[in-house]
Amino acid sequence: MRIPALLTLASLLVVATPAAAQPKPEAVLTTKGYQAAVNVLDRDHDRLVAEIIKLTEIPAPPFKEAARAKAYAEMLREAGLADVEIDEEGNAMGVYRGTGPAGGPMVMIAAHLDTVFPEGTPIKVRREGTRLSAPGIGDDTRGLAVLLSYARAMKESGIKVRQDIVFVGNVGEEGPGDLRGVRYLLTKGKYKDRVKSFFSMDGTDASRIVVGGVGSKRYRITYKGPGGHSYGAFGLVNPMVAMSQTVVDFYKIPVPTKPKATYSASVTGGGTSVNSIPNEVFMEFDMRSENREELAKVEKAFLAIVQKSVEGENAARSTKEGAVSADVKLIGDRPAGETASTQQIVRNAEAIVRAKGLTPKPSFSSTDSNMPMSLGIPAVTIGSGGVGDRSHSLDEWIDVEKSKSLEGASIGLGILLATAGMQ
C-alpha cells in the first residue's frame, strides 16, 4: 500500500510527540510491569542457565550458524513472539508487538549466534559451582538466552510498549562474518526502514555501554614462491620466511594505548610436505582501533612490512626458479562509528545503570553496533549480566551466580523497555 507523503509525515509526528514528553528513563524501574518481569527472571533463573548450556553446545562456527539458528527460532516461538522467521542471511528473529501504529519505528535487540571457533572444536559445557566454561558461552551465547528470558518475562507480566521490539539471534558477528547478519538486517531486511534504535547484547558487564564501534581491517596474505625439493632445491627463496619476517616485524609496530590500537597474527596454513619448500602459505592479520587515524597508521605500517618481507626474502635467497610474491586480500573492513551521548538510547542506558547503583562505563568495542552506528542509527551494545572472561579462547567462561546474573539482566531489560516506550 502506497501511503501519501503527508500521512507518513503525520505518523512520524505522532510518534515523535510522546517520545519528547517521555518521563525519566528510570521511571520504568518502578512500574508494576517491570517489577513483575524481574520476578519472572528471578523465578526462571535455572531455565536461563539450562538454555545457555543448550545453545552453547550447538556449534555455530562462522558461516555455519544454521543449526543454532534453527533451534533459536524455535525458542523464540516458544517464548511467544510473533512473526518468527529465519531470514535469507540466516538471522533468526521474532517480534514483540507494541501498541504503536503498524509500520512505525521499532527497536531491534540482537545477540549473535556465531562463535569464533572453527568446526570440530569440542564444545561441552563444564560446570564448577556457578562457573560454566566452554568456547562461545559468554560471547555471545549467554546474550541469546537472556533475550529469550526477556521475551518470556514481558509476555507473562503483560508488559505493553509503544514500539515493536524485534528480538534477533544474528549471524556473522565474528571475524570472517564481517557483520554480515546485522548488515543484512539493516540494509536489506524487512524491518530495515523501521529500526530506529538498535541494541547489541554482547559481553556480560551490565555497566559497560558500548557507544563507539572499534574499526578494524583484516587481511589474508598469501605468500607464493617456486617451491621445490628441500634438499635438492635448497637455496631457493621460501615464502615461509617472508611470512615469518612479516609477523616478527608486525609485532614491533608501536601502538598507543589511548586511543587504543591493536594487532594480531591469527590464522596460518600452507605448505606441500615436510620435505618440500612450500609453494604457498597464508596468514590472516587483524588490526583495530577506536580511532580511525591510528588504525590507518597501523594498516600502512603493516602493508609496508609485507612488501619489505617479500623483498628481503628475494634478496636473501635465489630467485632463479621464480621469486616470492604476496597476494594481499582485504577480508574484513568494519566501519568505526559512534552514538552521541545526547542520543536518547545512550541517555536511557546511562540513567538505568546509574539508577541501579552502578557507574556507567561508556566504551569502544567492535560489535554488531558498528553497523547501525555507521548507518546513523542510534545504537549501543549492552551486557547480558554476571561476569565472564577469556572470550575467543578455549577456556572461555562465565559465572551464573544468581544475584549478579539477575542484577545485570534487569538493567538490560530496563534499558530496553525505556527505549521501546513502556506504557
Binding a copy of itself by CB under 8 A: which of 15, 27, 267, 358?
267
Binding a copy of itself by CB under 8 A: which of 91, 163, 245, 291?
245
At which residue does the C-alpha cell 635448497 appear? 234
* Beta carbons of 137 and 116 less than 8 angstroms apart: no
Summary count for the chain: helices (H), strands (E) = 11, 19
- Beta strand ranges found along 113-229 (DSSP E): 126-128, 131-133, 164-170, 195-201, 208-213, 215-224, 228-229
Q: Is the peptide bond before 193 cis (omega within 30 degrees of 0)?
A: no
Residue 330 sits in the site that holds a copy of itself (CB under 8 A): no
Cα-trace Rg, the chain? 24
Binding a copy of itself by CB under 8 A: which of 116, 137, 165, 195?
116
Size of the site for a copy of itself (CB under 8 A): 67
Query: CA dist 65 to 76, 89, 111, Å?
Result: 16, 10, 13
Binding segment (CB under 8 A) for a copy of itself, from list 27-35, 49-57, 159-167, 216-224: 216-224
Q: How far is the CB of 54 from a copy of itself (least distance, A)?
A: 23
Q: How many whole angstroms from its chain centre is CA 405? A: 20
Binding a copy of itself by CB under 8 A: which of 272, 318, 343, 423?
272
Q: Which residues are registered as beta bridge partners of 265? A: 285
Residue 274 sits in the site that holds a copy of itself (CB under 8 A): yes
Q: Among candidates 110, 108, 95, which has minimal Cα distance to 197?
A: 108
Among positions 152-191, residues that touch a copy of itself (CB under 8 A) are 174-176
Residue 291 sits in the site that holds a copy of itself (CB under 8 A): no
* Beta carbons of 204 and 221 less than 8 angstroms apart: no
Binding track over 297-326 against a copy of itself, x by CB under 8 A: -------------------x----x-----
Binding a copy of itself by CB under 8 A: which of 25, 59, 172, 228?
228
3-state secondary structure of 93: strand
Choice between 152 and 317, CB closer to a copy of itself: 317
Binding a copy of itself by CB under 8 A: which of 171, 206, 281, 406?
281
Among positions 56-115, residues that touch a copy of itself (CB under 8 A) are 62
Q: Among candidates 230, 322, 252, 327, which has minimal Cα distance to 283?
A: 327
Residue 292 sits in the site that holds a copy of itself (CB under 8 A): no
Binding a copy of itself by CB under 8 A: which of 11, 22, 130, 279?
279
Binding segment (CB under 8 A) for a copy of itself, from list 79-87, 126-134, 275-283, 295-303: 275-283
For residue 234, the 8-state DSSP code is B
Phi, psi (deg, nearest 5) at residue 212:
-130, 140
Binding a copy of itself by CB under 8 A: which of 150, 285, 302, 397?
285
Binding a copy of itself by CB under 8 A: which of 270, 314, 325, 361?
270
CA distance linking residue 197 with residue 417, whole number of Å: 12
Residue 288 sits in the site that holds a copy of itself (CB under 8 A): yes
Q: Counting Cβ atoms within 10 Å, is residue 54 exposed (0-12), middle (13-18) or buried (19+)?
A: middle
Residue 222 sits in the site that holds a copy of itself (CB under 8 A): no
Binding a copy of itself by CB under 8 A: which of 14, 50, 82, 248?
248
Binding a copy of itself by CB under 8 A: which of 67, 124, 234, 328?
234
Choice between 139 and 164, CB closer to a copy of itself: 139
Residue 363 sits in the site that holds a copy of itself (CB under 8 A): no
Residue 142 sits in the site that holds a copy of itself (CB under 8 A): no
Residue 30 sits in the site that holds a copy of itself (CB under 8 A): no
Binding segment (CB under 8 A) for a copy of itself, from list 15-23, 65-73, 89-97, 260-268: 260-268
CA distance linking residue 296 with residue 310, whole number of Å: 22
Amino acid in position 365: S
Angle at 222 between CA 217 and CA 227, to 5 degrees: 165
For residue 139, the 8-state DSSP code is I
- Can you read off the three cell numbers belonging to residue 375? 548507518
Q: How far is the CB of 295 from a copy of itself (least distance, A)?
A: 11
Q: Going by C-beta distance under 8 Å and a sequence separation of 6 or more, which residues neighbour residue 31? A: 422
Interacting residues toward a copy of itself by CB under 8 A: 62, 116-118, 174-176, 214, 216, 218, 220, 226-234, 238, 240-241, 243-248, 251, 260, 262-279, 281, 283-286, 288, 316, 321, 331-332, 365-366, 390-395
